Copies of this chain bind each other. A is one copy, B any other.
Amino acid sequence: MINSYLIILGYNSSLPIYNHHPTSQILYMRENYFLIDCGEGTQSQLIKTKIKINKINNIFISHLHGDHYYGLIGILSTYQLLRRKNILTIYSPKGLKEIIKVHLKWSSTKICYPLKFVILSSRKKEKIFENKNVKIYTIPLEHKIYTNGFLFKEKKKLKNLNIDNVKKIKEININDYINIKKGNNFVKKDGTIIPNKFLTFKSQKPLSYAFCSDTKYSPKIIKFLKNVDLLYHESTYLQKFKKLAYNRGHSTAIDAANIAKLSKVKKLILGHFSNRFPYIKLFEYEAKTTFKNSIIPKTLKPYKI
């Protein structure tokens, strides 16, 4: 099985600059491809990943500032041209449905595939997606307009049987396997307990990824981010502009690093850098003073969760 990974398609902030792309990410997690935010040009970036666009069934939009969603209508049109059949679900704040509807009206387009909007409006964390492998929650953020981050969590996998050891216990038959795979001990008729760890291999811990863009420094979210394996947190400004950042509903690199540190995440990826700072390595430098495992991303590089 392929491990979960994240590809950052763009991490630029709102003002476009040469050879950079606005916010968009693709997360592969246990057989699912999730598209997170969708700035202008996302579909061109997707082509470069060679991930088939039709594999995406769920799109998550954090908020309705253009650098996070202007590329969506293009993707929806491409699905139309490709005669998509699968249902596509879009999770976003109120408004996007109206925007898409107006676009389609004026091009006289009737979408040929089922398009579902899940409208997010809660100010509290809520579960918005669950299938057999993955659960997804909102992370309420604090920005100029209503904004959510998203927390993606792998579900616990069934354990693999240590079949050599299982065979040593004559009483175990095939009907008991599922219980053992779930992590339960086996109890023999005479009451002897065979511990689960003798009967199974150690299974991989379920992994988690959190996406937080855009937001001012918001310690309220720390409780949602506890121990996540990978955190993407915006850092629009360097520390010198701390006040401006806060007033504009954005974070500094140190803010992001503080959130990472207090949440005890394993790794922090920074992004959404203001283009007033041409040398973005400085963001990493500042963040590392607070949280060592901080990096600035490389576009299109897969990051293991």
Write the residues of chain A forming the contact surface with B, with a CB cutoff of 8 angstroms: 14-18, 21, 40-41, 43-44, 47-48, 64-67, 70-71, 73-74, 77-78, 81-82, 93-96, 98-99, 102-103, 105-108, 144-145
Contact = CB atoms under 8 A, between A and B. Distances in A.
Nearest to A20: B44
Contact of A74 (B18, B66, B93, B105): B66
A26 to B, nearest CB: 16
B64 A106 contact: yes
A71 B40 CA distance: 8
A86 B202 CA distance: 66
Nearest to A43: B16
26 contacts: A14-B77, A14-B78, A14-B81, A15-B81, A16-B44, A16-B47, A17-B47, A18-B47, A18-B48, A40-B40, A40-B70, A40-B74, A41-B41, A41-B44, A65-B107, A66-B73, A66-B74, A66-B107, A70-B74, A94-B106, A95-B106, A96-B106, A99-B106, A102-B102, A107-B145, A108-B145
Contacts of A99: 102-103, 106
Contacts of A98: 102, 106
Number of identical protomers: 2
Contact of A16 (B21, B78, B102): B78
Given A40-B43, A43-B40, A74 B16 contact: yes
Nearest to A108: B145
Nearest to A40: B74
Contact of A70 (B47, B73, B102): B73
Given A14-B81, A40-B44, A95-B105, 9 more contacts: A18-B47, A40-B74, A65-B107, A66-B73, A66-B74, A66-B103, A66-B107, A99-B102, A99-B106
A285 to B, nearest CB: 26
A43 B96 CA distance: 22
B66 A77 contact: yes
A66 B71 CA distance: 11
B18 A64 contact: no
A109 to B, nearest CB: 9
Contacts of A93: 106
